[in-house]
C-alpha cells in the first residue's frame, strides 16, 4: 500500500475518532449539567458555574469511555469504506486487510499514548477542581484522610470541635496506627490538647491509645503551639480513649480517588501508600489501566474492523453494528470484573489490568483471520 493511501486511511480514522470523542464529551457535559441542576435545588450555584462544573467533570468520564469511543470510530470508519466501495477498490488493487488496518492501528496506539501522557493529567486536575467546587456548593464532605511522605493524616469532627490525627504507619485495614500524634481543637478552633501515643486501635466509637503523653494547653493560638507544649507538663497514660465517629470503611473511602491523580504522580503516591502500610491495589490497577490504553485502543480498532469490513459487503449493517456494540459491552463487563478482582487482591494487579486488553486483541485477531483469510 502506498504512503498516500496509508495517510488517507489514517486521516479518515483520526477525523472520525475526534468527531466521536467530541460527541461523547458533549453528551457527558449535558448529562452532568442536568444532574447538577437537580442537585442545585437550593440555588447555591449559578447556571454558568454549573456549566463550568459539568465541563470540569466530563474529561475524567470520557477517559473511562475512551475504548468504546475508539470502537465506534473504527466501526464507522471501515463501514464508510465498505459502503462507499472504497474498500472494494483497495482490495482489488491488491491491498490486504492487514495493510488497510495498519494506519488506523498506528493512529489508535498514538492516541492511547496521548490519553495517559497528556489528556489524563489535564482530566485529573479538572477532577480535583470539580470535587472542590462540589464540596463548596453542595456541602459534600471532603476527604478525611491524606497521605504524605511524613505519614498519614486523619481528620474527625464533632460538636466539641475538630481532631487531627497523624500516624507514621497504619495497618492495611486502618484499624491500627503507630507513632501517633493527636491535635485537638475546640469549637472555636483554638488548640486545646496534644497527645503523643505509641499505638492507636480503632474500636466502635473510639480510638484506644497506648503509651500516651498528654499536653493540655488550654486554648492556645495556632501560632503558639510549640511554645504552649514546651510550657506544659505532660501527663502519662498507659492507656486512654479518644471518641471518634469514624469507621475503617469511611477512612478507606477517603483516599484520594485515582481519577484525581495524574498518571505521572501515581507511582509516587503508590510508594507513599505502601510505606504507610496501606493497600495500593486500587491505585496500581488504575495506573496499569491507563498504561494499557494503547493496547486497548488497538484492540478496539481490530474489533471494529472485524465486524464492519465483513458484514457490510452483504448489507448486514444492523447485524454488524449490533455485534460490534455487544462485543464492546462484553469487553467492558470483563474489564470491570477483572478490575474488581484486582482491587480486592483476589488476582494479581498485572493480570487484572492487562488480561482484558490481551484477550480483546487475541479475540479480534482470531475473528479477522477467520473472516478474511478463511
pLDDT (0 to 100) of residue 226: 54
Choose one of 252, 285, 308: the last residue of a domain.
252
**Does residue 124 sit within a domain?**
yes
Choose one of 186, 219, 252: the last residue of a domain.
252
pLDDT (0 to 100) of residue 225: 52
Average pLDDT over residues 81-87: 77
What domain range is 129 assigned to?
Answer: 3-139+276-372
pLDDT (0 to 100) of residue 28: 95
**Does residue 259 sit within a domain?**
no
Residues 224 and 329 placed together within one structural domain of the fold: no
Residues 41 and 123 placed together within one structural domain of the fold: yes
pLDDT (0 to 100) of residue 312: 47
Residues 323 and 346 placed together within one structural domain of the fold: yes
Residues 129 and 155 placed together within one structural domain of the fold: no
Choose one of 185, 219, 252: the last residue of a domain.
252
CATH number for the domain that contains residue 205: 2.60.450
Residues 312 and 218 placed together within one structural domain of the fold: no
**Does residue 267 sit within a domain?**
no
pLDDT higher than threshold 60 for residue 38: yes
Residues 100 and 21 placed together within one structural domain of the fold: yes
**Does residue 93 sit within a domain?**
yes
Confidence of residue 171 (pLDDT cuts 50, 70, 90): confident
What pTM did the predictor assign?
Answer: 0.79
**pLDDT per residue as tens digits for the range 39-51:** 887 667 888 999 9
Residues 175 and 129 placed together within one structural domain of the fold: no
Count up the domains in the chain and report the number: 2
pLDDT higher than threshold 60 for residue 7: yes
Q: Are 13 and 103 in contact (CB under 8 A)?
A: yes
150-157 contacts at long range (C-beta below 8 A, 24 or more positions apart): 151/179, 151/276, 152/177, 152/276, 152/278, 154/246, 154/251, 156/244, 156/245, 156/246, 157/245
**Does residue 216 sit within a domain?**
yes
Q: What burial class does residue 329 get, using C-beta atoms within 10 Å of its C-beta: 0-12 exposed, 13-18 middle, 19+ buried?
A: exposed
**Does residue 271 sit within a domain?**
no
Residues 170 and 222 placed together within one structural domain of the fold: yes
Residues 216 and 127 placed together within one structural domain of the fold: no
Residues 135 and 150 placed together within one structural domain of the fold: no
pLDDT higher than threshold 70 for residue 315: no
**Does residue 263 sit within a domain?**
no
Instruction: Kindly compute the dihedral angle of the four CA atoms of residues 212, 215, 221, 224, in this order, to the nearest 10 degrees.
Output: -100
Residues 20 and 130 placed together within one structural domain of the fold: yes
Q: Are 184 and 212 in contact (CB under 8 A)?
A: no
Q: Are 70 and 301 in contact (CB under 8 A)?
A: yes
**Does residue 258 sit within a domain?**
no
19 compared with 217, residue with greater pLDDT: 19
pLDDT higher than threshold 80 for residue 230: no
Residues 109 and 163 placed together within one structural domain of the fold: no
Amino acid at each position: 500500500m502506498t504512503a498516500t493511501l496509508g495517510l488517507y486511511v489514517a486521516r479518515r480514522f483520526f477525523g472520525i475518532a475526534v468527531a466521536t470523542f467530541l460527541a461523547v464529551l458533549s453528551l457527558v457535559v449535558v448529562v452532568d449539567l442536568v444532574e447538577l441542576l437537580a442537585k442545585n435545588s437550593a440555588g447555591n450555584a449559578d447556571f454558568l458555574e454549573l456549566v463550568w462544573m459539568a465541563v470540569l467533570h466530563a474529561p475524567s468520564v470520557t477517559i473511562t469511555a475512551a475504548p468504546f469511543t475508539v470502537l465506534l470510530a473504527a466501526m464507522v470508519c471501515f463501514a464508510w469504506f465498505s459502503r462507499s466501495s472504497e474498500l472494494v477498490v483497495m482490495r482489488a488493487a491488491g491491498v490486504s486487510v492487514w495493510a488497510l488496518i495498519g494506519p488506523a492501528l498506528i493512529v489508535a496506539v498514538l492516541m492511547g499514548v496521548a490519553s495517559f501522557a497528556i489528556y489524563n493529567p489535564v482530566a485529573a486536575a479538572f477532577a480535583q477542581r470539580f470535587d472542590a467546587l462540589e464540596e463548596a456548593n453542595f456541602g459534600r464532605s471532603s476527604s478525611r484522610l491524606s497521605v504524605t511522605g511524613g505519614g498519614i493524616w486523619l481528620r474527625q469532627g464533632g460538636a466539641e470541635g475538630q481532631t487531627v490525627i497523624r500516624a507514621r504507619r497504619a495497618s492495611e485495614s486502618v484499624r491500627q496506627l503507630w507513632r501517633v500524634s493527636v491535635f485537638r481543637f475546640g469549637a472555636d478552633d483554638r488548640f486545646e490538647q496534644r497527645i503523643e501515643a505509641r499505638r492507636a486501635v480503632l474500636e466502635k466509637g473510639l480510638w484506644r491509645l497506648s503509651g500516651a503523653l498528654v499536653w493540655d494547653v488550654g486554648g492556645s493560638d495556632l501560632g503558639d503551639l510549640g511554645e504552649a507544649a514546651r510550657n506544659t507538663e505532660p501527663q502519662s497514660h498507659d492507656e486512654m480513649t479518644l471518641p471518634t465517629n469514624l469507621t475503617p470503611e469511611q477512612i478507606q473511602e477517603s483516599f484520594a480517588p485515582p481519577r484525581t491523580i495524574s498518571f505521572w504522580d501515581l507511582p509516587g503516591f503508590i510508594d507513599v501508600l505502601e510505606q504507610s502500610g496501606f493497600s495500593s491495589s486500587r491505585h496500581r490497577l488504575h495506573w496499569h489501566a491507563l498504561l494499557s490504553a494503547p493496547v486497548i485502543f488497538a484492540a478496539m480498532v481490530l474489533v471494529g474492523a472485524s465486524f464492519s469490513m465483513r458484514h457490510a459487503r452483504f448489507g448486514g449493517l444492523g447485524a454488524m453494528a449490533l455485534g460490534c456494540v455487544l462485543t464492546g459491552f462484553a469487553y467492558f463487563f470483563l474489564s470491570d470484573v477483572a478490575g474488581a478482582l484486582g482491587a480486592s487482591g483476589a488476582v494479581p494487579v498485572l493480570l487484572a489490568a492487562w488480561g482484558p486488553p490481551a484477550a480483546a486483541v487475541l479475540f479480534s485477531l482470531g475473528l479477522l483471520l477467520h473472516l478474511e483469510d478463511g
